[in-house]
Structure formats: C-alpha cells, structure tokens
Amino acid sequence: MYTLGIDIGSTACKCIILSDGKEIAGKGLYPLGTGTIGPKMVFESALKDAGLTREDIHTVLATGYGRFQFDGADSQKSEMTCHATGIHFLMPSARTIVDIGGQDIKALRLDAQGRLDNFVMNDKCAAGTGRFLDVMAGVLNVKTYELGPISDDAQSVVSISSTCTVFAESEVISLLSNNVRIPDLVAGIHASVAGRVAALVFRNGIVPDVTMSGGVALNHGMVRALSAELKTPITVHPLCQYAGALGAALIAYREATK
Amino acid sequence: MAEATPTPAPAKPKRPLPLSRQMVNAQTAKAYEDAWKAAEEGKPIGWSTAIFCQEICEVFDIPILYPENNCATLSARHIGDPYIAHAEGELAYPINICSYSRLNIGYADTLLKHPEQIPHEAPYLPRPTFLLLTNNSCTQLMKWYEQLSEMFDIPIFFMDTLFNYYEEEPKPHKIKYVRSQIENYIKNMEKFLGRKFDWEKFEEVQKISQENCRLFDEIVALNQRKPAPMSGFDLFNYMSCLVICRGKRSTTEIFKQLKKEVEEHIANNTSTFPAEEKYRVHWEGIACWPNLGYNLKTLKNYNVNAVMNGYVTAWDVLYNPGNMDEMAKAYQCSSTNSFSTPAIMDKRVASIKDYGCDGMLCHVNRSCKLMTFHIHVGREIVDEKAHVPVATFDGDQSDPRIFNEAQFETRLQGLVEIMKEKKEEEANG
Ligand code: SF4
C-alpha cells in the first residue's frame, strides 16, 4: 500500500511516498509554498519519482501551514505531530527536535516511545525563523543554502544586536559597509538565530538526543551555532528536510490500516 | 477523516438565547440606562476598575460602570478599533500599554471632544463625575485612571492593595492597610456626596453580594461533570453579572435561573457546548474578545470544550458580611495576578484536576503582561504537576492586530493530537 505525505510550508513544499509504511518509494521538493503552484508540483514530482500515478496512492495526508488549502488530501495533521513522527522513524533515539520553519520555530519534546509529549513555538515574530535567514542571505546576495559553507571560513563571530528582522537587516547592511568579513558576518547571523531558538528550546526542556528537522537543518553553520548555544551535540539526518512529509505519510499509513 | 482533523460544522439556524442570557442582557442594558439617565439629570456617575468594593456605591445607590468590562464588550462587537486607533494616533499612546487602557482613553477623548458621536445607550459609557480605582489586578490601572482624572477633571477614590508574592495569604498588616482605606473611602464618599452612609443597608448588600458569588461558584463547579453542561466560554458572559452587578438582587435571579438551566442540561445529558465534547481544556488568560467567535468555532470543530479558566473566578470576592477584615482580604486576593507564579499555578493545577482537563490552552496576551508572564514558567509547573500538555497562542484581549487564526488552529490541532494520543494510550492500558 502506498501512502503519501505532503508538507506545505510557507516557503517550500515537500512530499514523501511510502510503501507499506516502511520504505520511501518516492520524494519531491519544490521551493514554493502554500498559495502557489508548489503543492501541485511537488505532488506530481513525488509521483514521478516513485513511478506511480494518483490512483496508486491509498491515502494522502497533508501537513504544514497550507494543509487545509490542499484539495487532494484525505486528512490533515499539525506540523508538530508530523515532524515528531517523521524524526522518530529516521532517528529513534531523538527526544528533542528543533524545527526552524519559514515563519515559525518549534521545539518538540518526545516521550520515550517517540510520541509527541509537549511543544513550544515562537511568538508572532520573524526573529529566529527561516525567513530571517532568507532576508539576511538576500542582503549578502547569496543563496540561503550557501550560508553554511560561507560560515566555515569565519575567524570570529560578529555580534548582531537586533533580533528584529527589519532592524537586523539594516544592521547587517551597515556592517557590510564597514567591510566586516562576510564569513564572520554569516557566523554572527547564525549565532543571532541560535540565541533566539535556544531560548525557546530551553523553555521546553532539553532531553537528549537532540536533533533538527526541516530545511534549515541542512545548514551546518546553523546547526553548529545552535549546538554551541545549547551546549549539546545535535545530530542531523540527511532526510531532515522531509521529516514533516515523512511523518504525514507514516500517519496516513497508520490511519489507513487502523 | 482523522479524528483530530476539524469537521466544519454545517450552518445551523441560530438558537434563541436561554432565558438566563436574556436576563443578563436586560440587566446590562438597565445598568447603562440608569447611568445615562443619571448623566442627563446631572447626577453623579462613577467609572470603576473591575474589582472594586462596589458594595459601597450600591449602598449610595449611584450608577457605576466598568471601563474594562466595557472595552471587552466594544471589542467583542468589533466597535472598539477606532478608539484604539485614536489613542495611538492623535493621542500618541504606545502600542505597548494595555489595549483596554488605549481603547478607553481613546473613547474618553471622543466623549469629551465629540459627544455628539456617542449614542446615549449601551454599550457606550456616559461621562463620569468620579473614578474608583484599585490596583489589585495591576499597577498600570493607576496611570490609566490618573489620565482619566486629568482629562475629565474629576476626583479618584483610590484603594491601594499590596501584592502577595512571598506568601500564600496576605499578612495582617496588609489586611489592616486595605481595611483602613475602605473605611476612609466611605468617609470620603460621604463628604463628596453630602450624604450619610447607611451601614445597615451595607450589610444587606454584602449579603446579596455573597449569595451571588457563592451561587456563581456553584454553577461554575457544575462544569466539572463529564461531559460539561456548559461551553466554558459561557462563563465569560455570565461573569459579567458579578463584574457590574455583584451586589444586586437581579444577579441572584439570573444565577438562580442559570443554575436551573444547567441542572436541566445535566438531567437531560445535554450541553450548551455545540458539539461532542471529546477533550476538555483549561483556558488561561483573558478571552480574545475580538476573536471570541472564531475561537469558539475552532474549539468546537476540534471537539474541545474549554470547560474552565483561571479568570472567571476573579470576581467571587468571598467574606462574611459585616466582617471588614475579611472583606479587605478578599479584595486584595481576588485577582490571582496579586500572587506569585507558583501560587497561581498551584491553583491552576488543582483546577485542572478538579475539572478533569486533558490539556491547557494559554493566551499569550500582548496587553496583560502580568497575566502573561506567569505562563512561560507556569507551563513547566503545570506540565510537571498536572501531567497535561500545554499550548500557547498569541493574542490580545482588545487589539485585533495580534491574534492569528492559522497560528491558533495549528497550536490547537497540535494540542488535540497529543491529548488524543494520551487518551488512546490510557484506554489501551
Ligand atoms: S494590564 Fe491586565 S490587569 Fe491591567 S488593566 Fe490591562 S488587562 Fe487588566
């Protein structure tokens, strides 16, 4: 039986097709979020990747910010439950998950059985979110995914005092005009986000193992900065970006076989 | 469809309001009518902070209205925004102060400068001739009322209370301090009005007030039943009787009628909660008045009844009639804002257990810092002692710019999913 999980975020869509709740049969990613062609494109690309058609899919479950806007879903679940389920599948020992999404940050705590036990999310502010990193990458005229490798060359970490995205943007512009080294600046941007995120994670309590899910987890500079801030090692799975969609596909399978 | 996915309710014809609710509306309309009549006749009218010793003005038979309660009404009816905008714009008040104060100050200025724009009926407040102020729920009220006093050029009768951060019960000197102020306030009112205070009537009013508070407590406690006979949000409506008419017989009649209706629901196994109650949560904080309808609809879609909250009991000011020390103590402690975070959260933990709640939903209220700051540490206490999941969402009691529907729904859905898992786990042993 094939089940499909689709994670419709604010800036990207991810899709996973599972075979019998065990094997990943196909996946897709599209860098546009809800309200765009993103959901349709990612759905089709996952089917193509798996060599399947819509008729082959038994159940579709949507998650993410745009979960209620997607007509093709049989049901919807919150991002929190889906990320927890997806990560538990990929990394059974994980008990604390940090997800930096496009517009929110989640700190999830799992119980010993891998079930979501409690969660904390950011307040209505873009500081510390993926959007903050996107804006900063824009100012530096690089792609967001390039921030990690750039920060590898940092010799020091520039302090960025504003956490507000708008003010931090002008602060970074003025630092740039003072000829601050770009890798040091990027390390400073990561440290700024890490500071905000760590405050939230501490609020939920840290139980090891700690991991990150979502696309930002692929930015190793960000992972390094957060790990330093939390004073805890963070392990990241290569499929971290698909954790929400994977969790959705797993829950779809459980619902279908109940 | 998955259980934790909302089922949009089909549009139903509006049910007629129960008699008790019609009585609440009539009582509120009368309170405003009396105040507007007094204004037209040039008689005294007071504006008061929410938890003041209203028994005293009841004895003097002077209409009193309550700006905080009024702001809640204006916001729930979506007619408060222009006053907030006026306070922030022309009057240059910052967004960081409580939205009740912004709304009311904006309203007061409109009342002064453009009285012709204000209809002489509920929910509009007539111009006050004096102010009653106590800081038992926060200290920002003092600045707000000082501002009103200056704008209207009218006196403030102030009762200073002390917070109880380091003790469970106020120490004797604190009680003495508040009692002396109540007695002094009575003397000052006698001077201000040129009339003697009727101590016999005072005891009568105290008795009525106590009967009303006790009745309300009994009614609220009926929601401990599973499934609850009332939607928890109903309590927000009925508590207004204690806010504005605590010492009146009409409130007794309303509560007796309400109790009858609730008991009928219990006997018939029905409820005012408009869906099957699968989950029970404890609501923390003031309601998001501008979003009340959306919140209730979303809770209903997820079968979540917010059966109890830590806010509605702030007006059950309990003491033995005639005992001034007890009265002083009750007014000092009635808002849990005057206690430490562990003391408040211990009350919430007990209530979560009494009401059989599966989780807690906390309103991170941009306006009311005092209530909100407890939440972040408090959620850990609740998590540890009550073993229920806690979700927070951003909002504001009056300012509609803070709340976000998608955020509310996502957090509620996450909470429901955890509660569902836990229930299934319990059911499977
Ligand atoms: S800050 Fe809170 S306690 Fe103070 S007036 Fe506003 S709502 Fe009431």
Question: How far apart are the CA of B332 and the centre of ligand 1, in A?
Answer: 16
The pLDDT of residue A252 is above 60: yes
Task: Enumerate the residues of chain A whose CB falls inside 8 A of the CB of residue B5.
Answer: 75-77
* Cα B50 to middle of ligand 1, angstroms: 10
B380 CB near a chain A CB, below 8 Å? yes
Could you tell me the pLDDT band of residue A200, with boundaries at 50, 70 and 90? Answer: confident
Q: How far is CA B243 from the centre of its chain?
A: 7
* CA atoms of B88 and B80, how far apart (whole Å): 13
Identify the CATH homologous superfamily for domain A1-91+239-258.
ATPase, nucleotide binding domain (3.30.420.40)
CA distance B401 to chain A (A): 11
Q: Which atom of ligand 1 is nearest to the CA of B286?
A: 7
What pLDDT, in 10s, does the model give residues A105-134? 999 999 988 899 989 988 777 777 888 899
CB contact under 8 A, B414 and A123: no
Residues in chain B: 429
Residues of chain A whose C-beta is under 8 A from some C-beta in B? 61, 65, 74-81, 104, 115-121, 123-124, 203, 205, 251, 255
Given A65, A78, A121, which is nearest B417 (Cβ)?
A78
C-alpha B113/C-alpha B110 separation (Å) is 5
CB within 8 Å of B391: residues ≥ 6 apart: A119, B359, B360, B361, B362, B411, B412, B414, B415
Query: Ligand 1 pocket: which of B48, B70, B138, B139 to mutate (most atoms <8 Å of CB)?
Result: B138
Residuewise pLDDT in 10s, chain B (429 residues): 334 455 555 556 677 899 999 999 999 999 999 999 999 999 999 999 999 999 999 999 999 999 999 999 999 999 999 999 999 989 999 999 999 999 999 999 999 999 999 999 999 999 999 999 999 999 999 999 999 999 999 999 999 998 887 777 889 999 999 999 999 999 999 999 999 999 999 999 999 999 999 999 999 999 999 999 999 999 999 999 999 999 999 999 999 999 999 999 999 999 999 999 999 999 999 999 999 999 999 999 999 999 999 888 888 899 999 999 999 999 998 888 888 899 999 999 999 999 999 999 999 999 998 888 889 889 889 999 999 999 999 999 999 999 989 899 999 999 999 999 999 988 887
Task: State the distance from the centre of ligand 1 to the C-alpha of B107, rounded, in angstroms.
Answer: 17
pLDDT of residue B40: 95
Please write the tens of the pLDDT for every residue from B304-360.
Answer: 999 999 888 888 899 999 999 999 999 998 888 888 899 999 999 999 999 999 999
Quote the DSSP letter at residue B50.
T
Domain ranges of chain A: 1-91+239-258, 93-236
**Chain A residues lying within 8 Å of B1, measured CB to CB:** 74-75
Reduce the DSSP state of residue B309 to 3 states and report it.
strand
Residues 359-378 of B with CB under 8 A from A: 364, 376
Judging by beta carbons within 10 Å of its beta carbon (0-12, 13-18, 19+), is residue A156 exposed, middle or buried? exposed
B5 touches chain A (CB under 8 A): yes
Task: Provide residues with CB under 6 Å of ligand 1.
Answer: B 68, 98, 100, 137-138, 140-141, 337, 367-368, 370-371
Between CA B106 and CA B225 the distance in angstroms is: 43
Give the residue, B106 or A35, on which the prediction is more confident: B106
Instruction: Please tell me the predicted confidence (pLDDT) of residue B1.
Output: 35
Question: Bridge-partner residues for A120, per DSSP?
Answer: A107
Helix axes B99-113, B81-88, angle to 10 degrees: 90
Q: Which of A60, A78, A120 to mutate to test the interface with B (most CBs of B within 10 A)?
A: A78
Q: Which residues contact A51 (CB under 8 A, 6 or more apart)?
A: A26
Q: Which residues contact A168 (CB under 8 A, 6 or more apart)?
A: A127, A132, A135, A136, A160, A162, A189, A192
Q: Which of A74, A78, A205 lies nearest to residue B413, judging by beta carbons?
A: A78
* Cα A68 to ligand 1 centre (Å): 36
Interface test mutation site (partner A, options B7, B407, B426, B428, max chain A beta carbons within 10 A) = B407
Provide the 10 A C-beta neighbour count for residue B204: 16
Domain boundaries of chain B, sorted by first residue:
19-427
How close is the nearest chain B Cα to the Cα of A256, in Å?
10
Q: Which residue of A has its CA nearest to B6?
A: A76
Q: Which residues of A touch B406 (CB under 8 A)?
A: 65
User: Going by C-beta distance under 8 Å and a sequence separation of 6 or more, which residues neighbour residue A4?
Assistant: A15, A16, A17, A18, A43, A46, A57, A59, A60, A61, A248, A249, A252
* CA gyration radius, chain B: 21
Closest listed residue to residue B224, CA positions, set B421, B361, B357, B68: B357
**A205 to chain B: which residues are within 8 Å by CB?**
380
Distance B74 CA to ligand 1 centre (A): 16
Both tokens of B312, joined, read 């509605």
Nearest residue (CA) to ligand 1, atom 7: B368
How far off is chain B from A124, nearest CA to CA, in Å? 7
Residue bearing tokens 């009750």:
B330
Which candidate in A60, A81, A88 is best for mutational testing of the B interface (most B CBs within 10 A)?
Answer: A81
* Per-residue pLDDT tens over the stretch A207-247: 999 999 988 999 999 999 999 999 999 999 999 999 999 99
Interstrand relation of A23-30 and A13-19 (parallel, antiparallel or unpaired): antiparallel
If you write DSSP's letter for every residue of B312-375 in order, what string do you get?
GGGG-----TT-HHHHHHHHHHSSGGGB-HHHHHHHHHHHHHHTT-SEEEEEEESS-HHHHHHH
Return the axis-axis angle of helices B249-268 and B199-221, rounded to nearest 10°: 20
Task: Please list every residue in chain A whose beta carbon sits closer than 8 Å to the beta carbon of residue B341.
Answer: none
Whether complex ipTM tops 0.85:
no
The pLDDT of residue B188: 96
- Structural contact between residues B389 and B366, judged by C-beta atoms closer than 8 angstroms: no
Q: Is the CB of A75 less than 8 angstroms away from the CB of B380?
A: no
Instruction: Inspect the interface and report whether the beta carbons of A124 and B383 lie closer than 8 Å.
Output: no
pLDDT of residue A174: 87
Domains A1-91+239-258 and A93-236 share a fold: yes
Ligand 1 center–CA A172 separation, angstroms: 38
Q: How far does the CA of residue A169 sit from the closest CA of chain B (Å)?
A: 23
Q: Is the CB of B411 less than 8 angstroms away from the CB of A115?
A: no
Is the N-terminal amide bond of B229 cis, ω within 30° of 0? no
Query: Under a CB-based contact definition with an 8 Å cutoff, are residues A124 and B425 in contact?
Result: no
Please give the radius of gyration of chain A, using alpha carbons only, rounded to the nearest integer: 18
Which pLDDT does position B3 carry in this prediction?
42
Report CA(B337)–ligand 1 centroid distance (Å).
9
Nearest to A251 by CA among A98, A86, A111: A86
Q: For ligand 1, atom 5, which residue shows the shortest CA distance?
A: B141
Question: Tell me, what's the pLDDT at B9?
Answer: 55
Domain A93-236 of CATH type 2.40.50.140 = no
User: A118: which chain B residues are within 8 Å (Cβ-Cβ)?
Assistant: 383, 389-390, 418
Report which of B243, B63, B36, B22 is spatially closest to residue B121, judged by C-alpha positions: B36
Q: Are B222 and B229 in contact (CB under 8 A)?
A: yes
Determine, for residues A118 and B402 on separate chains, whether the beta-carbon distance falls below 8 Å: no
Exposure letters A84-109 (e unless 16+ CB within 10 A, then b): bbbbbbbbeebbbbbbbbbbbbbbbb
Nearest to B230 by CA among B267, B260, B274, B268: B274
What separation in angstroms does the CA of B191 have from each of B184, B195, B200?
Answer: 11, 7, 19
Residue linked to tokens 């003391």: B343
Nearest to B133 by CA among B119, B112, B154, B115: B154
Name the phi and psi angles at A247, rounded to 5.
-60, -40
**The token pair that represents B145 in the structure block:** 């009322």
Q: Count how many pairs of residues, chain A against chain B, have C-beta atoms within 8 Å.
A: 61
Cβ contact, residue pair A79, B410, below 8 Å: yes
